Chains A and B, each alone.
Chain A
Amino acid sequence: MSELTFFIDNKECKAKKGQTITEAARDNGVYIPTLCDYPGIRPAGTCRICTVKVNGRNMAGCTTPVEEGMIVENKTAELEDMRKAIIEMLFVEGNHMCPTCEKSGNCDLQALGYRYTMMVPRFPYLWPSREIDASMPKIVIDKNRCIQCLRCVRGITTADGKHIFGTLHRGDKTRISADPELVAAMTDEQAQKAMDICPVGAILKREVGFKVPMGKRKYDSAPIGSDIEK
């Protein structure tokens, strides 16, 4: 397989042909923050937190393939502030109560909030009125916390490839929903996978709250991205 050479913040990096900028960055020990991107599922570019400057233009790192000689800007003050603004927007747009959320410590959004030292969001809280769908046998969907990343839509399928989750409505009214029959037939493993794939606490496996003690959660000991950065 042919190898490409490209540059992130002046660091010379190597990429396999077809790799996206975020994938290749990871392999080269450079952290570009992601939220909607998830290993093993097709990138969608919904959250834009991975925005980088490619040859002077803003591009989603998770959907843009590396090209030979590409010049990528990643950790500039401008991009970092824009990413922080996106995190803040996601926080104010839903109802995110970290202190009582099962996902606290395992949540990508919370971890990014910490990494970017989000204090008080620059945007006003919207306090939307959203429902908790607790009618399904294996999972609960708390729509207050959904950031519309579509990881569940893309990543959770039945054995024969049918999508269990989908979206309703459009724009800022977009809501995640589940196929009633398929979600009713979900296995425990699928429910666990759905909970794990959700970057926040929107999909919860029923009746397992807080089983993992504090101190043993994903981001308790090291900030998000530190496993990539060398």
Chain B
Amino acid sequence: MKTHSEHEHIEELIEGYALDALEPEERSLVDQHTSSCSPCRKQLRVTEETVHMLGFVAAPITPPVRCKLKVLEKIEREQFLHTPTRRSRTATPFSTWATVAALVLFMATGMWGVSLQRQMSRMSTDMTRARNEIAELEGMLAEVQEIRALKGEGQSQYAVANTFMKPGSNKALLVIRNLPPLSAGQTYKVWVAREGMEEGLTTFNPPPADDTIQVAIEPREPMDHYKWIMVTIENTQSADHPSQQQALFGDL
């Protein structure tokens, strides 16, 4: 049972506590009292909420994009390290915000090498098993000169993708987000095409929702010899012609 004067004494400290402006001894008095007194605890909560609203008083200022990229990279890395690996032979389900971040920076500024290499090297010290993949990606991405967007279709309408390519080269990278999972036995397949011909390339299995997947492709001819690029849903890996179920489609 709390005495009346104890409540009163604590009540006098509540505002200072909420503003974190008390001396340590006063602070621990409030901690002790509120741990067993619900009216004072409630009053403290409302007072703290008032204090927290002061956060709105500072004029908002947009931070540089790198802040966001760094946080996302950290989250990505943490998720990667704490989820079981998912790897397939044909694709690179190693989704790294570092790579996407570098791509974004590349698109925004053309400043490619420095940030990519820095981020890549940091990633690779954390994840040695990804090092070779990264080195390969890095070499490929360093060549990128053109980016072509693909649009999601049908049940993949929320998917987004970009092809990173270099005219004259037959190596390109497809970076895809938000492809939905498939039924058992189905697979995604990448195609390039022009009038009268279609060429089937890599097949891959979708990563979990919200994840990014990078698919390296290497058609027979340079990328700019083709007119379209698409990703379809196939029932067999060896399909000769793209099925009617298009997941992504874009012009080259």
A and B: bona fide binding partners:
no
* A positions within 8 Å CB-CB of B: none
